[in-house]
Structure 1
Amino acid sequence: MLHDALAAHHIHTVILGDYLSGAAGELSALQFPVLWVVEGEDYSLARQLVDRYLQDPEPDQAPWRCSRCGEMVEATFDICWNCSTIRH
């Protein structure tokens, strides 16, 4: 989710360990995926976006209309399924 949210702001990220859940029981519980921001100059904005994203754990309960393409999107999603625009 964070990867997609940052990509919508043109911030290139890489997820390291994305498939670690497939080795559940074989790896230490301390092993988990990590999101890396590729370009150093994007880090500050990425950190702000992640902080804002994490501060709002309760999504709106009603579906929302995408401001870019007009599609209706379920309340549990913050990114439009049709055009990848982030909910405002």
Structure 2
Amino acid sequence: MRELYQAADRVEAQILKDHLQVEGIETVIVGDQLSGAVGELPADIYPTLWVLDDDDLARAKQLTEQYFSRPPVSGQRWRCRVCGESIDAGFEICWNCGSPGPNDNE
């Protein structure tokens, strides 16, 4: 097991953990319950992501760098053709009814 990334908070750690899991890399978050004590304890207690299989560390580092260097979401808002909900750019399905966006050919 090898240390990969120290997150700013529990949410960032979980998002990265989920991203790596989709890529087939198993990780564990260490210290995620301690972040609530930030400011109270004189220690570096932010959640840290650890890669379980040492052989996955290099790929996990590369995927982490790519994840955080992504360009900002582009595109335009769109209106769901099923329920009429207004959806922000970058979303591929309607958050309200789950229908595919205008760029899906289903």
TM range (shorter): 0.5 to 0.7
Alpha-carbon RMSD across the aligned residues, in angstroms, is 2.1
* Conservation of the 8 A alpha-carbon contact between 1:11 and 1:42: yes
Query: Which residue in the other structure is 1:63 paired with?
Result: 90
State the identity %: 41
* SS of residue paired to 1:35: strand
* Conservation of the 8 A alpha-carbon contact between 2:38 and 2:45: no
Taking the aligned partners of 1:73 and 1:60, their CA distance within structure 2 comes to 17
TM normalised by structure 2 equals: 0.54
TM normalised by structure 1 equals: 0.64
Note the C-alpha offset of 1:59: 3.1
Unpaired stretches in structure 2, ≥5 consecutive residues: 1-14, 76-88, 96-106
- Given the alignment of the two structures, is residue 15 of structure 1 paired with residue 29 of structure 2, yes or no? yes
Q: Segments of 4+ in structure 1 off by > 4 A?
A: none
> Quick one: structure 1 residues 73 and 35, their matched pair in 2 at CA, closer, same or farther if it must change by over 3 Å?
farther
* SS of residue paired to 2:49: strand
Unpaired stretches in structure 1, ≥5 consecutive residues: 66-71, 75-88
Map residues 1-88 of structure 1 onto 2, 5 A cutoff. Answer: 1-28=15-42, 30-56=44-70, 58-60=72-74, 62-65=89-92, 72=93
> Quick one: structure 1 residues 73 and 31, their matched pair in 2 at CA, closer, same or farther if it must change by over 3 Å?
farther
Greater CA radius of gyration, 1 or 2? Answer: 2
